[in-house]
Amino acid sequence: MATSVKEMLEAANAAVPRVTAAQARDMMAKGDTLVVDVRDTPEVQTSGKVAGAVHVSRGMLEFRADPQSPYHDKNFATDKTVLVYCASGGRSALAGKTLKDLGYERVYNLGAFKDWAESGGAVEK
């Protein structure tokens, strides 16, 4: 049965809790937290990214996150807390659900990069 983007986003938002910038800063301060920017490269080049974040475009996430993949990024580990963000929160919700499907348990949607930046969150260019 076919599904729609709306239905996919509803399922992703139900599975992946949204956190505020303040909550994200608290998680990051505790350590053992991976922050993942799933925007496309031109977006990151234009605005920068959350300081310390790993950039993995949405289309490559499964390949970087799966330890069995030849393209696995060693920053990804299922025992870490993972914060995912994008430009508005949609791609990060879908990415978070994908990570949960891959066995990551503590996954949170930080939402929009601009909200992080406007809240005074650290950014690296």
Here the CATH number for the domain that contains residue 77 is 3.40.250.10
Please report, in angstroms and rounded to a whole number, the separation of the first and last CA atoms in the chain. 43
Q: In this predicted model, what pLDDT tens digit does every residue of 1-12 receive, in sequence order?
A: 678 999 999 999
Structural domain range at position 70: 5-119
Count how many domains the chain has: 1
Report the C-alpha gap between 9 and 28 in whole angstroms.
25
Q: What's the confidence (pLDDT) of residue 1?
A: 64
pTM metric for this prediction: 0.95
3-class DSSP state for residue 36?
strand
Judge contact between 52 and 35, C-beta under 8 A: yes
Q: What's the confidence (pLDDT) of residue 89?
A: 97
- The backbone region for 51, taken as left when phi is positive above 0, alpha when psi lies in -120 to 50, beta otherwise, is beta
Does the structure show a pLDDT above 90 at 65? yes
Does the structure show a pLDDT above 70 at 120? yes
Q: Has residue 31 been placed in a domain?
A: yes
